[in-house]
Structure 1
Amino acid sequence: MLLVAPGPFALARTFVFRRYLTLRSHVVRPVAAPPVVDAARKARKLLKKRAKEERLRNFFGWCEGCGAYGSIF
C-alpha cells in the first residue's frame, strides 16, 4: 500500500474551502428583518402555548368528569 503525503497546501485548501462554505451559507440565506423574525417567533410561541393549554384543559376536564362519578372507576 502506497502512502502519499498530502501536498504542502492541503491544510490551506481545507481552511479556505470551509470558510467559503460558512460564508456562502450566510450570504445565500435570506435575511429577514428583525421585526418579522420576532413576530414569527411570537406567533409560533402563542400557537404552542394554546395547544398546551387545550391539552391541559382536556386532561383536567376528563379528571373532573371521573371525579364527578365518584368511585365508579
Structure 2
Amino acid sequence: MLPAALSPFALARTFVFRRYLTLRSHVVRPTTATPVVDAARKARKQLKKRAKEERLRNFFGWCEGCGAYGSIF
C-alpha cells in the first residue's frame, strides 16, 4: 500500500484554515457589551459585595463579643 502523496500546499492550507478559525472567533464575539448587560453585571457584583461585607461584619462581631466576655467560651 502506497502512502498518500501530500500536496505541496497542504501546510499552507492548514495554516490559513487555523488563522481563519482564530479570526472567526474574534469577529463573531461582540466587541462591547450592551448597557443592560453591564448594568446587570454591576448589580450582581454589588449584591455579592454586600453579602460578603455582611458575613465579615457578623464574624468580627462574634469575635468582639467573645473578647468582651473575657474568653469565657
Shared fold (TM-score, shorter chain, > 0.5): yes
| Alignment gaps of 5+ in structure 2 | none
Q: TM-score, normalised by structure 2?
A: 0.60
* Alignment deviations for residues 3-50 of structure 1 (CA, whole Å, 9 cap, x no partner): x89643233222222222223323444566442343233123212211
Q: Could you say what the CA RMSD is over the residues aligned between the two structures, in angstroms?
A: 3.0
More helix per residue? 1
Q: 1:40 to 1:22 in 2, by over 3 A?
A: farther
Q: How many residues align?
A: 71
| Alignment gaps of 5+ in structure 1 | none
Q: TM-score, normalised by structure 1?
A: 0.60
Q: Percent identity?
A: 90
Structure 1 CA distance, aligned partners of 2:28 and 2:38? 21
1:58 CA drift (Å):
1.8
